[in-house]
C-alpha cells in the first residue's frame, strides 16, 4: 500500500510539475479552501510537517498568487489566508490529476473490485487515524 501511495503521489506531482506545485501545496490549498481561518500550526499538524515547513509552503503559495493574506502577520497573530482564483485553478488541476488516477485504477481493477476495496481502505484509514490521535 505504501508503494502504491508513493506511486500515486508521484503521478499527481508529475502532472502538476509544470505548475511548480507539489502534493504539500495542493494539500494546504485544499485545507484552506475549506477553512480559511485555519492556523499555520493546524495546517502543519494536518500535513504532518513542522509549522516552519508549512510556513515555507504557504509562502510559496502566496508568492505564486494561489493564496492571499488578509491580515498582517506577526508574532502571536493568526494569519488569515484565503485561496485566490489561481489557487482554485490549481486545486482543480490537482483534482483532475487524482480523478485520472482513479480512472486508471478502476480500469485496471474493475468496478466490482474497486467497490469492495474502497470501503475496506476507508475503514483502515479511519482506524489508523483514530489510533494515532488517541
- CATH number assigned to the domain comprising residue 112: 1.10.10.10
pLDDT score at 72: 64
User: Is the distance from CB of 95 to CB of 26 less than 8 angstroms?
Assistant: no
Please state, in angstroms and rounded to a whole number, the distance separating the CA atoms of residues 85 and 77: 25
Q: Average the pLDDT over 76-103 and give the result.
A: 89
What are 49-84's pLDDT values in tens digits? 898 999 899 999 999 999 998 876 555 556 678 999
Q: Average the pLDDT over 87-109 and give the result.
A: 93
CA triple 96-11-109, angle to 5 deg: 80
What are 11-62's pLDDT values in tens digits? 999 999 999 999 999 999 999 999 877 877 888 888 888 989 998 999 999 9
DSSP 77: P
User: Is the distance from CB of 81 to CB of 58 less than 8 angstroms?
Assistant: yes
Query: By residue range, what is the domain housing residue 12?
Result: 2-133
Model-wide pTM > 0.85: no
User: Is the distance from CB of 47 to CB of 54 less than 8 angstroms?
Assistant: yes
Please state, in angstroms and rounded to a whole number, the distance separating the CA atoms of residues 36 and 47: 16
Please state, in angstroms and rounded to a whole number, the distance separating the CA atoms of residues 58 and 55: 5
Domain count within the chain? 1
Amino acid at each position: 500500500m505504501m508503494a502504491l501511495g508513493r506511486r500515486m503521489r508521484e503521478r499527481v506531482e508529475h502532472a502538476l510539475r509544470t505548475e511548480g506545485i507539489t502534493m504539500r501545496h495542493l494539500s494546504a490549498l485544499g485545507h484552506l479552501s475549506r477553512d480559511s481561518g485555519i492556523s499555520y500550526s493546524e495546517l502543519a499538524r494536518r500535513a504532518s510537517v513542522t509549522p516552519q515547513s508549512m510556513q515555507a509552503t504557504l509562502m510559496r503559495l502566496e508568492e505564486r498568487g494561489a493564496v492571499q493574506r488578509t491580515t498582517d502577520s506577526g508574532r502571536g497573530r493568526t494569519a488569515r489566508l484565503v485561496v485566490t482564483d489561481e489557487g482554485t485553478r490549481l486545486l482543480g488541476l490537482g483534482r483532475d490529476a487524482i480523478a485520472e488516477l482513479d480512472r486508471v485504477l478502476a480500469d485496471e481493477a474493475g468496478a466490482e473490485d474497486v467497490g469492495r476495496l474502497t470501503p475496506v481502505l476507508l475503514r483502515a484509514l479511519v482506524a489508523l487515524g483514530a489510533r494515532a490521535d488517541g
